[in-house]
Amino acid sequence: MPIGLNTGDSAWVLVSTAMVLLMTPGLAFFYGGMVRAKNVFSMVFMSFVSISIVTIIWFGYGYGLAFGKDAGGLGLIGWGDFRFADVLPTDLTGRVPTYAFALFQLTFAIITVALISGSVAGRIRVGPWMVFSLLWSTVVYSPVAHWVFDRTGWINKMGTLDFAGGLVVELNSGMAGLALAIALGPGIRYRRREPPEPSNIPMVMIGLALLWFGWFGFNGGSAMADGRVAVNAFANTFIAGCSGMLTWMAVEWFRKRRLSKLGSGTGAVAGLVAITPSCAYVNVEGAFAIGIFAALVCSFAVQWKFVLGYDDTLDVVGVHGAGGVVGLLALGFFSTGFLGSAGLFYGGGGALLGKQVLAILAVMFYTFVVTYLLGKLVDRTLRLKETEEEQLAGSDLQFGTE
**What pLDDT, in 10s, does the model give residues 308-324?**
999 999 999 999 999 99
Q: Find all residues with CB under 8 Å of 6, minimum gap 6, and list them.
A: 95, 96, 225
pLDDT recorded at residue 402: 55
pLDDT digits (tens, 9 = 90+) for 240-298: 999 999 999 999 999 888 888 788 999 999 999 999 999 999 999 999 999 999 999 99
Is-contact 293 276, C-beta < 8 A? no
pLDDT recorded at residue 398: 85
pLDDT recorded at residue 274: 98
Is-contact 240 293, C-beta < 8 A? no
pLDDT recorded at residue 84: 78
Is 1 among the domain residues? no
Categorize the per-residue pLDDT at 151 as very low, low, confident or very high, splitting at 50, 70 and 90.
Answer: very high
On the question of pLDDT at 1 being above 60, the answer is no
pLDDT digits (tens, 9 = 90+) for 336-392: 998 888 999 999 889 999 999 999 999 999 999 999 999 999 999 999 999 999 999
pLDDT digits (tens, 9 = 90+) for 84-113: 778 888 899 999 999 999 999 999 999 999
Q: pTM, whole model, 2 decimals?
A: 0.95
pLDDT recorded at residue 3: 67
Is 2 among the domain residues? no
Average model confidence (pLDDT) across the chain: 94
Query: CA Rg, the chain, in Å?
Result: 20
pLDDT recorded at residue 2: 57
CATH number, position 64:
1.10.3430.10
Cβ neighbours of 104 (radius 10 Å): 24
Helices 201-220 and 228-256 cross at an angle (nearest 10°) of 150
Give the count of domains, the chain.
Answer: 1
CA 287, chain centre distance (Å): 19
The parent domain of residue 210 ranges over: 7-399
